[in-house]
Amino acid sequence: MTAKLLFVCNNPAFFADQHMHLAQAAKASGHTVLVAAPEWPGAERIRRAGFPFLPISMERGGFRPVADARSIRELIRLYRVTSPDLVYHITLKPILYGTLAARIAGVPGVVNANTGLGYAFIDEGLNTSIVRYLLKPMYRAAIRHENRVDLFLNQDDRNHFLATRMAQPKRSAVITGPGVDTNAFYPSTEADATPVVILPARLLWHKGVQEFVDAARILKNEGVNARFALVGDEDPGNLASIDREQLQAWNAEGVVEWWGYRHDMPQVYGDSHIVALPSYREGLGKVIAEAGACGRPVVATDVPGCREIITDGVNGTLVPVQDANSLADALRPLLSNRQTRSAMGRKGREIVEAQFGEQTVAAQTLKVIEYVLSGIRFEPGMLRLVIDRAGAPEFLSNEVDAPVAFAG
């Protein structure tokens, strides 16, 4: 069945970078697609792609009772006016507030895309621990909806949500998203120049930026001939953001280069020799998949969201989290061995083409959307929800410990 789908995200640039291909696939399947997000950078890219853009007010990071209550009221009005058959929420706040609004407004179907646990679940500070303690029961109450599926990018995140009763086995699944455009990101021969190691990410402490800087300092003090670059920008909307003054200080010191935000990421990967992502936790490390698509080896931490893509010693190396010495030890042999880099890069390309391409991920996600839509039955004069449990596809399992990452 064709339907009206409304995608809701609190960062239009994030939607444009990582979820636009899904909206395009849904449109190509015959669905009417709308996108709602704040009027921030990235909104114009969504409009240029041909999607009706609906501006909303929603803060990123932290909880602000007055502003957040206003966001919920606004979402309720939006859902009632647009009357979508299904709302697809992306990231924590849209999931939390949007599912509540969808239930109140009578939206028939909901898909919640958890893109990672985020600051509220990763940070170990006292204030964040208190927020996390309060958030869990609030989350459980807000996401109650008869016809919804919660999506996760790795099994560890899903298990955490199941264990804390923030997700249910039959209403959750793992997909290999967000997907990489393997036509735009393609292998190239590495330059015959000083090896370049890049860390491409939002510049947050939880991305392991400090460990990357420390590893660069270790290797440079040893006399290793290499360049190290941070590729990305500060993210003021995130409480873990590294401020501009610190980034400028590292750049001035010469231990790492700060290249800032780049729109030409395929070229950035082409100019690099190794990609590092010493993150504390990921949903699914898209930069790892992009690096693999470009034929570059990756050194990443052995954490959820990284180990789903990296097989240690095959397409990259996994190292302990928050361990600059281990990161330096893993980078050292790769910097000196071009053959190993090339072999890992070739294998990385194979893995991404087989599992992490945009078309593969979009096909998986559309199956979930179609499943939720199949629980909606239209009759003259009324709208009823019919959930056929016996008809649930295999990836929506009854068992908490059953495999849920399905092949699209």
- DSSP assignment of 27-80, as one string? HHTT-EEEEEE-SSTTHHHHHHTT--EEE-----SS--HHHHHHHHHHHHHHHH
Residue 62 and residue 24 in one domain = yes
Residue 28 and residue 164 in one domain = yes
pLDDT (tens digit per residue) in 303-324: 999 999 999 999 999 999 999 9
92 located within any domain: yes
How many angstroms separate the CA atoms of 61 and 58, rounded?
10
Residue 257 and residue 349 in one domain = yes
12 located within any domain: yes
> Tell me, what's the pLDDT at 128?
54
Q: pLDDT at residue 407 above 70?
A: no
> Tell me, what's the pLDDT at 382?
33
The percentage of the chain sitting over the pLDDT mark of 90, rounded to a whole number, equals 76
> Tell me, what's the pLDDT at 389?
32
Residue 158 and residue 38 in one domain = yes
How many angstroms separate the CA atoms of 377 and 352, rounded?
38
Q: pLDDT at residue 61 above 80?
A: no
> Tell me, what's the pLDDT at 401?
36
- Looking up tokens 């249910």 gives 168
**What is the pTM assigned to this prediction?**
0.87
Q: How confident is the model at residue 190 (pLDDT cuts 50, 70, 90)?
A: very high
Q: Identify the three-state secondary structure at position 369.
A: helix
pLDDT (tens digit per residue) in 374-406: 988 544 333 333 333 333 444 444 333 333 333
| Total domains, the chain | 2
Cα torsion at 174, 292, 353, 30 (round to 10°)?
Answer: 60
338 located within any domain: yes
Residue 276 and residue 387 in one domain = no
pLDDT (tens digit per residue) in 321-339: 999 999 999 999 999 999 9
Containing structural domain, residue 50:
4-179+358-391
Residue 215 and residue 153 in one domain = no
Parallel/antiparallel/unpaired status of strands 382-385 and 376-379: antiparallel
Residue 173 and residue 41 in one domain = yes
Residue 14 and residue 153 in one domain = yes
Look at residues 101, 170, 99 and name the one whose alpha carbon lies nearest to residue 140. Answer: 99
19 located within any domain: yes
222 located within any domain: yes
Q: How confident is the model at residue 132 (pLDDT cuts 50, 70, 90)?
A: low
H helix or E strand, kind and range, residue 130:
helix 126-142
Residue 160 and residue 46 in one domain = yes
400 located within any domain: no
> Tell me, what's the pLDDT at 405?
39
337 located within any domain: yes
pLDDT (tens digit per residue) in 138-181: 778 888 898 999 999 999 999 989 998 889 998 999 998 889 99
Residue 228 and residue 349 in one domain = yes
Residue 336 and residue 372 in one domain = no
Residue 272 and residue 384 in one domain = no
How many angstroms separate the CA atoms of 57 and 37, rounded?
8
pLDDT (tens digit per residue) in 222-260: 999 999 999 999 888 787 899 999 999 999 999 999 999
Domain boundary among 353, 371, 402: 353
Which domain CATH number covers 50? 3.40.50.2000
